[in-house]
Structure 1
Amino acid sequence: MTTVNTNSTATAVNDLMSTMNAKPKEVDSVQADTDKFMTLLVTQLKNQDPLNPLDNAQVTSQLAQLSTVTGVNKLNATLETLKSSYQSSEAMQATGLIGHGVLVEGSDVQLSGGKAILGVELATPADKVQLVVTDATGKEVATIDMGPQEAGIVPVAWDGVPNPDNLGADGKPLALADGKYSFKVVATRAGEELDDAKGLAFDSVASVTTNSKDGVKLNLPGKGAVAMSDIKQVL
């Protein structure tokens, strides 16, 4: 008949509970996990049943688990360091863009002084590319014919010239007033319209915002806050 020492069992339980509920210290998380594991292991060894000691395979398995957890924690710490370093580098790069014009995905174009900048992003080549400009009422007022284009990003300088049929009450060509217009891309290949052509709007970088949650953001007057990856081309 085996006799269980209740005092020893109570002590072991108290030791384990004290270890698990210990107040966290301001130490490295990897070292803290290692210390906690070793404390638990030593507590187990101190309070093991002499007639039924811990199996060597179990101890080896626990040590292997500790090694795995420690390795993962160290990897996470390294990745956080790399992430912080990357964000700092990206922030410096973004700051250099302040005051520069950029092209971002969009369908608005601002005519100022009879001139405007816009662009097109083509995923595949096109036999014919046109930009159809409309005013605030949705009326087509200008068509920019770009001809055939290869895949890629193509900036466009528009001189504000309207369609020939955009006539005033006197029958004369009606010049387009400065202001905001919209446009759409019509790209075709072998007579079929492509669905992988996107319009690009012109904007400028006013400032840069950096925080741990959203990373680096470029603040554009027209588009708002965008990521570095949203910038298609710097002009």
Structure 2
Amino acid sequence: MEITQITPAANQPKKDASTALQGLGNDLDTFLTMLTTQLKNQDPTNPLDTHQMTAQLVQFASVEQQIAQNKNLEDLVKLQNQNSEYAAVNYLGHNVQAEIDVADVSEDGASWGYVLDMPANTVDLHVVNSSGMRVYSTEGETGAGVRHSIEWDALDNNGNPVEPGRYKLLVIARDAQGSIIDGKPTIDSLGMVTAVKSNKTGPSLIVGQDTEVTLSQIKKIQ
């Protein structure tokens, strides 16, 4: 006589540990109820296969241990995220250097920096608005491996103030033949952290009005 198989909840589509553990308990209750019924009604000439019963119980025990381990991992992830959020709060009110090419520009202007992978013959710097229009251009420094800074006073090429908002820095490096050099310069911007945002993957920082950066993008705090 065969024992009806019950598939443990943890072997079904992924759930969190608490839900899986509750499902496992329900499955085990169902299995034991069915097993008791089968024991009462078993055919003496064809008794239950105890090896099959033992294997099923061992499977439940193994799944229960796996769920407990998953619960511990979930708790560790939650604790890590909490610690990250506590650390993120310490950035509030500080100016940070973040590896991002955009900046929220006010009447005070904006600050960027860039690092070239290799020396260039010329470097053109362009500030573009949210529509992709170039509002300011200038020449940059050409050395490689060091950070070059650019301070922009929020004035366009005609000396007129630009509208406050988000602006992006473009860095175009060329060789002696005038060809664009392969490789993407590393660009960063400076700004004040004004808020901390909680996400499922961990906290992020709001720099300026609404520029969102992750903690891993922060290169320096001032």
Q: TM-score, normalised by structure 2?
A: 0.65
User: Which one has the bigger strand percentage?
Assistant: 1
State the AA in 2 paired with 1:82: L
Q: Does 1:126 align with 2:121?
A: no
Q: Which residue of 1 aligns with 2:169?
A: 183
State the AA in 2 paired with 1:60: T
Aligned CA distance change for structure 1 residues 234 and 53 (closer, same or farther; 3 Å): farther
Q: Which residue of 2 aligns with 1:219?
A: 206
Question: What is the CA distance between 1:109 and its match in structure 2?
Answer: 7.4
After superposition, the C-alpha distances for 1:51-103 in whole angstroms (9 at most, x for unaligned) are 32321221222122112211221122111101110111001100000011222
Q: Between the two proteins, what is the percent identity of the paired residues?
A: 21
Question: What is the CA distance between 1:28 and its match in structure 2?
Answer: 8.5
Aligned CA distance change for structure 1 residues 219 and 140 (closer, same or farther; 3 Å): closer
After superposition, the C-alpha distances for 1:146-177 in whole angstroms (9 at most, x for unaligned) are 41226xxx3625376x9xxx7xxxxxxx7x55
CA distance in 1, matches of 2:69, 2:202: 21
Alignment check: 8 A CA contact 1:208 1:216 kept: yes
State the AA in 1 paired with 2:184: D
CA distance in 2, matches of 1:234, 1:214: 22
Q: Which residue of 1 aligns with 2:151?
A: 158
Aligned CA distance change for structure 1 residues 209 and 135 (closer, same or farther; 3 Å): closer
Alignment check: 8 A CA contact 2:95 2:191 kept: yes
Alignment of 1:51-130 (within 5 A): 51-102=45-96, 103-108=98-103, 110=105, 116-120=110-114, 125-128=117-120, 130=123
Q: Which residue of 1 aligns with 2:183?
A: 195
Structure 2 unaligned segments of length 5 or more: list them: 1-5, 7-17
Please, which of 209, 216, 221 is the counterpart of residue 229 of structure 1?
216
Question: What is the CA distance between 1:223 and its match in structure 2?
Answer: 4.2
User: What CA RMSD, in Å, does the superposition of the two structures yield over aligned residues?
Assistant: 3.8
CA distance in 2, matches of 1:192, 1:142: 17
CA distance in 1, matches of 2:82, 2:185: 34
State the structure with more CA Rg.
1
Question: What is the CA distance between 1:108 and its match in structure 2?
Answer: 4.5
Please, which of 134, 138, 141 is the counterpart of residue 142 of structure 1?
138
SS in 2 for 1:98: coil
What count of residue pairs does the alignment treat as equivalent?
Answer: 192
Aligned CA distance change for structure 1 residues 141 and 29 (closer, same or farther; 3 Å): closer
Question: What is the CA distance between 1:185 and its match in structure 2?
Answer: 1.7
Alignment check: 8 A CA contact 1:105 1:199 kept: yes
Structure 1 unaligned segments of length 5 or more: list them: 1-15, 17-26, 167-173
Q: TM-score, normalised by structure 1?
A: 0.62
State the AA in 2 paired with 1:158: E
SS in 2 for 1:33: helix
Alignment check: 8 A CA contact 1:126 1:188 kept: no
Aligned CA distance change for structure 1 residues 193 and 223 (closer, same or farther; 3 Å): farther
Question: What is the CA distance between 1:36 and its match in structure 2?
Answer: 4.3
Aligned CA distance change for structure 1 residues 38 and 133 (closer, same or farther; 3 Å): same
State the AA in 2 paired with 1:227: T
